[in-house]
Structure 1
Amino acid sequence: MGENYRIGTIAIKGGYNPKGGEPKVVPIVQSATYEQDDPEFVAKVFNLEADGYLYGRTGNPTVTALEEKFAELEKGVAAVATACGQAAVVYSILALAKAGDHIIASSAVYGGTYNLLKINLPKLGIETTFVDPEASKEEILKVAKSNTKAIYGETIGNPGLNVLDFEKFAAVAKELDIPFIVDNTIATPYLVNPIDYGANVVVHSTTKYANGHADALGGIIVDGGNFNWDNGKFPEFVEEDPSYHGISFVKNFGKSAYATKIHSTLIRDFGAIPAPVNAFLTNRGLETLHLRVQRHSENALKLAKYLESHPKVSWVNYPYLESSSQYNRAKKYLRGGGSGILTFGLKGGEAVAGKLIENLKVTSLVVNLGDVRSYIIHPWSTTHAQLSSEEKIKSGVLPDLLRVSVGVEDINDIIEDYSEALEKI
């Protein structure tokens, strides 16, 4: 597509350009393998000397359409789709770090990501130092090591709702000459493009706002094409890959070296690919991303203001509330909204949280966020249960915190639902 198209147009038309007589809608190619008639061409595709489809694990046209659309939405040069968001996070790091390496991460990340970085990647020899996202640049630089290979953060932390200081984290990455990885799941490319603010890699759980309907798992890794891999720290990108007999990802694939390496090595060897039907559903969901996230943001702000004024509510956190400590940063980086997640606490604390949840009707108790329906959950006892109390607090989870994923239902019905439920506690 043209470089001047805006996000609403890209969301609908990006990644797929049918010719005369071809399906207007991206087709679901539900096949594990592909017919071939040229042995020489097959050999070239295997050796990354030509583009083509050979086997479902290494490529699928429906998945390709999703990857190309997402690369356009995030202003990257290429993207790699995965089976879920967690796989996207894992591959984004494994492409950069190996046993003996180290990364820096914001402590205000999703509980599953925190557990991955703290418990399981160390089993592979990759250590993580967590930093307070509000720490100064100098404080973050102090934890860096000679083997530090990336710095990682979330645009909007889940569920702390801190807005990432892109300028500071990008400055750290630049000084250390390492990639800056950003999870943009909650903000989505509708509200911000992290690559505009110095990110080199963007990851998403597409299960959330990208799909928007809770009917397809998925993840995506977007290559910004803006990092110099030939800086002495990432020889596997520069030197000849032994499994491809002479190919250098940097020399052969230039700006898309990172995405190509993930697709041709990690996807090839570890799998975790999206099913074609899930790619189709996610692609279809993206067609309304700009409409949904605008409505999510409007509804969340209105609900946040209502809860902030309620006598039984002790506190409310939403980035676009003027009372939020994140308000100025949200206005600086986010385009006109704070997405659909808010958190709040009741004056009765954790003891009455369950009763509120039980009495809600429009808002459901669901372990998910970011689709058209309104959800609520108590992260301390669920999504972040595997963390210690100290780790929960560092990641922004308090014992009385309730996380609400505000849907796109009529906001008056959502507010009335909370009003009636709050009356019963």
Structure 2
Amino acid sequence: MSRLTRGKRKRVSPALKSGRPGKKMKPIPELPQELFRDEILSRLPIESVSRFKSVCKSWLSLFSDPHFVKQHNDRLNPKENDLLVIRKYGHIAIISRYQEQFLLRNDDDWNLIGSAKGLVSLCCRNVVSLWNPAIHQSKEFHLPPLVYGCLCRAGLGYDPLSKDYKVGICYRSLDKLRLCYAVYSSSSASWIHYQFDDRDVEIVISDFENKSLTPTTMVRDSPYWTTSSTTISSSNEEKAILCLDAFKFDATSNRFKLLPRYSSEFSKDKKFKVVCMRDLLSFMAYERCPVCKLEVYSLDEDKGCKGGVWSKMYSFGPFLRFRRFDCLQQGFKYGDEIVINEYGDLTRFNHKLGTFERIPGVMAPDTGDCFTYTPSLVSLPGMTSIYLENQTPLPGHHPTIRPLRLVNSLRDHLPLEKTTQVFN
């Protein structure tokens, strides 16, 4: 064999390859693009979709399309994607029923002000962040200059009509004589300022000024703030009258709304915890005794003509070790599973089985705000990928495996947003 022909292979016609002289090979059938997109790609886990964005430009465009994002969200398994975002001592964590998925160091003392439709909102001094932990993107913006130092309340809401994420804040005017509020729209990237015209709302919010600016809980992607008071009953000294006031930020109407007051007579030793259960504003009432029940009361805003009706929903128990419920947290959205901070460990209580199961993760003697969280592919205009050296890797993971999150360095370099005054 000569040098020119050495190493070269003789070409074989497709007809001979198939074993049928005179006939060409049939092309391999391809799946229709609609079937491939709607039935395969839309069912991929979020981690896979985030990774496959770099495959080609067409996939990057597809995975960012709002129609595909909605379709993908609709096909997620609700039980598997039923998570919590919780503020721990020095960390912000996202946890499932069985594990702590990842931690974000909270060295700068970011306040957790809400979680809606896949986004988590954090506030630190005069900066607010809209953060999507699932796709590792965030968008930061400033509070209006006239608000800084006078902020009373801040919460994240979602408007299902305009598909817009909004941040609502309450603040005192510079002369401390008026209570105002402002709404940030992520679609227009601007603030609009309002004045309260309802005295009842002003009284309730004024009573909140010495408490946390973060929402008590979130229901149907709206933040709720609550305050309660108890007085000894005049008819029975062993009883006390509980009065629970609540108001919410409605992102659709851009208004803070006062809700019907709950007032009832209870044992004076009972404790209360306001949470979201079954997509309703709820509170759990319990007392310390050897054997007792945990009662759940909820506000159904769709009933009645005055903004809703309070009623008893159900009871848990009786329990023999009821002291474990002294540190109740927000439960998971599906399944009515309550979360308890027990000596630094997070434990979930399954009332159907009557069992306590520890959620593995970093122990934190102090836990604060806690909201339900569902991962999503949503990406807002202005969001950018975020990498930071403050990432805390999970045990057994190399720190370079997962992208790093939250750009603290943007805090002092953000442009001021447009501001519009609308007083009514």
- TM-score, normalising length from structure 2? 0.23
The structure with the greater share of residues assigned to helix is 1
- TM-score, normalising length from structure 1? 0.23
The structure with the greater share of residues assigned to strand is 2
